[in-house]
């Protein structure tokens, strides 16, 4: 018989055991905090990351995933510091992909998602040229076996769907499906999805790659379903469903993939809100893990917000997951812990603990917050550094009111869209071709600028008048520019004339010099309004240039800094820049040139008070000919004739002893 003391001692043991069981297996049941609290946690985590990473990092997949989350946060909470951090990173890498434009490995294409996000705020084509080239190459290829691992779905699918929308071309969506279908149904013999008809595990999850499929199992004999791997997939479904037209015949399969995975994940959530790195085996490196948990939270919250998932069933799952992450993974200073490092299976980068973090984990957490905040009550807080107000809506003018003809996809409207690149042009087959532009009201104009496709030397007339009938009928008095014998290919082709009043302009292309084809293709046409030239002053400005590298613009050649870090760079020979010196009080006695890395560039300089003389490279304006230069002395100096020019054209035509294609000039100095 047990004594009363024995019963008491036994009861105390039960109470203590129950306490510790509850402590370590406590189920997070708290409701979501308000919007302001959710945003404050996102700000805390993102600001900590930025402050600790002044060096924005490389353009490989891990850092790219951080920036994907960062830009998603900016979309939701537009604090300019997040935009500026992403833009500086993109500029640092020249909007390029790791490995170049020819890459097909999805990891190397992940950076493109941020370039596209930035492009959507400021649609300059150069921002997406590299990712578009890479993805277009895949669209035009018959290969469908590039995505042999499931991480690829998150890294690349959003690029395909976004570029399809930007280009109004469903071929991008078709190719995305072909690649996805092969991964899901065929890779490794029967696909990487556990329930695709070939495989019938009744788990609705994914193996990371063919090497993780059965017969490989966990120590407990379970399927190896890696948490973050499945996170990549379900997050990819979110990003595709956000952008893919519902009318797409494959939309429903992407949606059903998310729904089926959500049901499976719901049943595998830990009591503390996290998911284990091994979804089916809690003893296979079990414990909290943030990156997979964050991706699952992002997808489940999106499903609730869009009505794809039942809020009554999945709301508590999201609540537990978010509260678990902010209570356990987010430290007081914003450090995000419990992030499994790079790898491909549960045992990768172990152990995982409160001190484990990575850039992609922060990106996943920020993505989760962007959807969780939509479920919460309360009012969205105001960003500390809101972006500047948008510019006023563009004027309805100028407008193209008529044209001789136009190619589908290269319509006449492109000639006044403000974009001088060849990707946005007006094209029409045969000569002559014309376009008439209405500027909305009378303008005082004294010049025109014309950018041609592939720098062709088109020959043309320009008519201008306050009367539409006069330009339509090409009345002689309305002819203001006669470039019918033009042979210049320098861009833009400039013409000047005495200031006049005009509302209507007719540009008529009649032929081309040095081009045997029959296409009229004009990138951009502009009129120069009277008195638009910079007023005479002692300050120098760049009037125009052949081209420039983002981050190494032409104005750096006159910024007073001769170091290599502040240079003008452009790819290919020749390259030129025209400088407007304003009004100089004294003649110039010499010119000094500093080159990048002391290269022996070969160049020619023209100078004159007449802009057209330097633009057209008249012999009368030639002052320095170093086309045979072999000197790398710094600076390269030349004595000049002592005339007070206003315009100077530097044209770099080649190099000696360098072997590369880049023109890079640190500084040019005109010495009085």
Q: How far apart are CA 328 and CA 321, in angstroms?
A: 11
Residue 277 pLDDT: 97
Which of 342-361 are b and which e, b meaning 16 or more Cβ less than 10 Å from the residue's Cβ?
A: eebbbebbeebeeebbbbbb
Query: What is the CB-side half-sphere exposure of residue 96 using CA atoms within 13 A?
Result: 12
**Every domain of the chain and the residues it spans:** 19-375, 399-529, 541-671
User: Is this structure's pTM higher than 0.75?
Assistant: no
Joined together, the tokens standing for residue 398 give: 């100028």
Q: How far apart are CA 180 and CA 604, in angstroms?
A: 54
CATH topology agreement for domains 19-375 and 541-671: no
For helices 359-375 and 227-243, what crossing angle results, to 10°? 50
- Residues 186-211: pLDDT tens digits? 999 999 999 999 999 999 999 999 99
Residue 393 pLDDT: 60
Q: How far apart are CA 95 and CA 126, in angstroms?
A: 8
A 10 A CB-CB count for 615 gives 24
Ranges of the chain with pLDDT below 50: 1-25, 532-538, 585
Please classify residue 13 by burial: count the beta carbons closer than 10 Å to its beta carbon, then call 0-12 exposed, 13-18 middle and 19+ buried: exposed
| SS3 call for 661 | coil
Q: Cα–Cα distances in Å, from 641 out to 328, 588, 624?
A: 75, 8, 10
* Phi, psi dihedrals of residue 485, rounded to the nearest 5°: -115, 20
How many Å is the Cα radius of gyration of the chain? 32
Q: Quote helix, strand, coil % in the chain, to nearest 5.
A: 35, 20, 40
Residue 647 pLDDT: 87
Q: In sequence order, which residues have a C-beta less than 8 Å from that of residue 19 and are 6 or more positions away?
A: none
Q: Cα–Cα distances in Å, from 229 out to 235, 322, 365, 467, 533?
A: 10, 20, 15, 67, 58
Contact at 8 Å (CB) between 36 and 73?
no
Tell which residue, 33, 658, 55, 76, has the closest CA to residue 366.
76
A 10 A CB-CB count for 373 gives 26
The conformation of residue 557, written as its DSSP 8-state character, comes to: G
- ∠ Cα 304 310 316 (to 5°): 75
Q: Cα–Cα distances in Å, from 400 out to 55, 397, 463, 503, 573?
A: 47, 9, 14, 12, 35
Tell which residue, 203, 210, 219, has the closest CA to residue 183.
210
Helix locations, 96-150, DSSP H: 106-109, 111-121, 129-139
Residue 522 pLDDT: 96
User: What is the homologous superfamily of the domain 541-671 according to CATH?
Assistant: Galactose-binding domain-like (2.60.120.260)
Please classify residue 123 by burial: count the beta carbons closer than 10 Å to its beta carbon, then call 0-12 exposed, 13-18 middle and 19+ buried: exposed
Residue 26 pLDDT: 52
Cis bond leading into 156, ω under 30°? no
Query: What is the CB-side half-sphere exposure of residue 227 using CA atoms within 13 A?
Result: 37
Contact at 8 Å (CB) between 530 and 445?
yes
- Which CATH class for the 399-529 domain? mainly beta
* Phi, psi dihedrals of residue 265, rounded to the nearest 5°: -70, -35
Q: CATH classification of 19-375 is 1.50.10.10, yes or no?
A: yes
Joined together, the tokens standing for residue 313 give: 């069933």
- Residues 487-537: pLDDT tens digits? 888 888 988 888 899 999 999 999 999 999 999 999 999 998 865 444 444
Q: In sequence order, which residues have a C-beta less than 8 Å from that of residue 373 and are 6 or more positions away?
A: 35, 38, 39, 42, 76, 380
Residue 19 pLDDT: 39
Place of tokens 């998310």: 258
Q: How far apart are CA 538 and CA 34, in angstroms?
A: 57
Cis bond leading into 662, ω under 30°? no
> 70: part of which helix (H) or strand (E)?
helix 61-76
Q: Cα–Cα distances in Å, from 388 out to 71, 89, 392?
A: 17, 20, 12
Place of tokens 């005009």: 502
Place of tokens 């092969």: 182
Q: Cα–Cα distances in Å, from 243 out to 5, 157, 578, 618?
A: 69, 11, 44, 54
């Amino acid at each position: 018989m047990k004594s009363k003391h024995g019963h008491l001692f036994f009861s105390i043991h039960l109470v203590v055991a129950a306490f510790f069981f509850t402590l370590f297996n406590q189920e997070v049941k708290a409701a979501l905090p308000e919007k302001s609290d959710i945003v404050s946690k996102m700000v805390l985590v993102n600001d900590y990351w930025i402050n600790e990473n002044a060096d924005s990092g490389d353009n490989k997949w891990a850092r790219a995933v951080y920036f994907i989350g960062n830009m998603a946060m900016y979309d939701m909470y537009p604090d300019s510091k997040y935009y500026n951090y992403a833009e500086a990173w993109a500029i640092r890498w020249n909007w390029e992909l790791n490995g170049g434009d020819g890459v097909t490995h999805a990891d190397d294409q992940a950076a493109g998602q941020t370039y596209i996000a930035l492009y959507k705020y400021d649609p300059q084509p150069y921002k997406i040229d590299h990712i578009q080239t890479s993805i277009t190459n895949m669209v035009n290829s018959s290969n469908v076996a590039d995505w042999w691992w499931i991480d690829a779905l998150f890294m690349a699918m959003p690029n395909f769907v976004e570029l399809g929308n930007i280009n109004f071309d469903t071929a991008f969506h078709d190719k995305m499906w072909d690649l996805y279908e092969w991964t899901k149904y065929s890779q490794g013999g029967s696909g990487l999805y556990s329930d695709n008809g070939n495989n019938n595990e009744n788990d609705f999850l994914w193996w990371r790659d063919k090497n993780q499929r059965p017969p490989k199992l966990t120590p407990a004999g379970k399927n190896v379903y890696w948490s973050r791997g499945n996170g990549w997939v379900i997050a990819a479904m979110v990003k595709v469903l956000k952008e893919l037209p519902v009318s797409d015949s494959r939309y429903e399969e992407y949606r059903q993939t998310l729904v089926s995975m959500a049901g499976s994940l719901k049943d595998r959530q830990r009591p503390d809100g996290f998911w284990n790195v091994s979804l089916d085996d809690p003893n296979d490196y079990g414990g909290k893990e943030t990156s997979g948990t964050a991706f699952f939270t992002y997808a489940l919250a999106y499903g609730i917000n869009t009505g794809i998932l039942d809020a009554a069933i999945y709301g508590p799952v999201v609540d537990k997951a978010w509260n678990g992450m902010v209570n356990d993974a987010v430290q007081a200073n914003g450090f995000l812990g419990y992030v499994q490092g790079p790898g491909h299976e549960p045992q990768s980068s172990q152990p995982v603990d409160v001190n484990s973090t990575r850039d992609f984990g922060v990106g996943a957490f920020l993505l989760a917050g962007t959807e969780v905040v939509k479920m919460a009550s309360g009012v969205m807080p105001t960003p500390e550094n809101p972006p500047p107000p948008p510019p006023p809506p563009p004027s309805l003018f100028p407008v193209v009111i008529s044209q001789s003809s136009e190619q589908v996809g290269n319509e006449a409207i492109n000639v006044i869209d403000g974009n001088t690149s060849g990707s946005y042009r007006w094209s029409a087959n045969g000569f002559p071709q014309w376009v008439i532009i209405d500027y909305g009201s009378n303008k005082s104009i004294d010049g025109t600028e014309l950018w041609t496709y592939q720098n062709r030397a088109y020959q043309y007339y320009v008519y201008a008048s306050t009367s539409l009938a006069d330009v339509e009928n090409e009345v002689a008095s309305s002819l203001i520019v006669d470039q019918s014998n033009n042979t210049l290919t320098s861009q833009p082709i400039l013409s000047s004339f005495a200031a006049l009043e005009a509302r209507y302009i007719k540009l008529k292309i009649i032929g081309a010099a040095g081009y045997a084809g029959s296409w009229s293709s004009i990138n951009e046409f502009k009129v120069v309004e009277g008195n638009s030239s910079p007023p005479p002053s002692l300050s120098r400005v760049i009037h125009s240039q052949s081209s420039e590298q983002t981050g190494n613009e032409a104005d750096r050649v006159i910024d007073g800094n001769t170091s290599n870090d502040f240079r003008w760079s452009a790819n290919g020979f020749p390259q030129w820049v025209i400088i407007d010196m304003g009004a100089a009080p004294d003649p110039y006695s010499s010119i000094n040139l500093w080159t990048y890395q002391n290269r022996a560039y070969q160049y020619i300089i023209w100078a004159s008070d007449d802009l057209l003389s330097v633009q057209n490279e008249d012999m009368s304006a030639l002052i320095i000919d170093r086309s045979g230069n072999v000197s790398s002395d710094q600076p390269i100096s030349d004595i000049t004739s002592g005339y007070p020019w206003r315009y100077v054209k530097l044209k770099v035509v080649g190099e000696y002893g360098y072997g590369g294609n880049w023109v890079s000039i640190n500084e040019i100095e005109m010495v009085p």
